[in-house]
Amino acid sequence: MELSARNVFTWLLANLLIMCGFVNRAKKRAMRGDHILSMYFHDPSKKEFEACIKWLKSNGFTFLSPEDLHNIITEDLAMPKGAVLMTADDGWKGNESNLVAVAEKYQVPITIFVSTEAVEEGAYWWAYLEKAKDLNISIPPKSSLKLIMNDKRAALINEIKRRTKVDRQAMTINQIRQISESKYVTLGGHTHTHPILVNCRTEQLYNELHVSKQKLEAWTGKEIKYFAYPNGDFGEREMRALSELGYKLAFSSEPRQTSRADLRNTYCLPRFGLLEGASLAENICRMTGVWKPLMLKFRLPELAKDENTSMETPVYRRRESTKLLTS
Ligand SMILES: [Zn+2]
Q: Is residue 212 a contact partner of residue 113, using CB atoms and an 8 Å limit?
A: no
Ligand 1 centroid–CA 194 distance in Å is 6
DSSP H or E stretch at residue 145: helix 142-145
pLDDT for position 295? 86
How close is the Cα of 280 to the center of ligand 1, in Å? Answer: 22
Kindly give the distance from the C-alpha atom of residue 180 to the centroid of ligand 1, in angstroms, as a whole number: 19
For residue 269, the CA-to-ligand 1 centroid distance in Å is 16
d(CA 114, ligand 1 centre) in Å: 8
3-state class (DSSP) for residue 268: coil
21 alpha carbon – ligand 1 mean position (Å): 33
pLDDT tens track for 25-60: 999 999 999 999 999 999 999 999 999 999 999 999
Model pTM?
Answer: 0.92
Please tell me the predicted confidence (pLDDT) of residue 314: 36
Between the CA of 102 and the centroid of ligand 1 the distance, in Å, is 21
Distance 304 CA to ligand 1 centre (A): 17
Is residue 292 very low, low, confident or very high in pLDDT (cuts 50, 70, 90)?
confident
pLDDT of the residue at 80: 96
Our CA dihedral for 281, 285, 287, 289, rounded to 10 degrees, sits at 180
Q: pLDDT tens across 225-261, in order?
A: 999 999 999 999 999 999 999 999 999 999 999 999 9
Tens of pLDDT along 110-122?
999 999 999 999 9
Positive or negative, the Cα torsion across 7, 12, 17, 21?
positive
Mention every residue, 6+ apart, whose C-beta is less than 8 A from residue 212: 114, 115, 116, 189, 190, 191, 192, 224
* Ligand 1 centroid to residue 307 C-alpha, Å: 10
Kindly report, residue by residue over 258-272, the tens digit of the pLDDT.
999 999 999 999 999
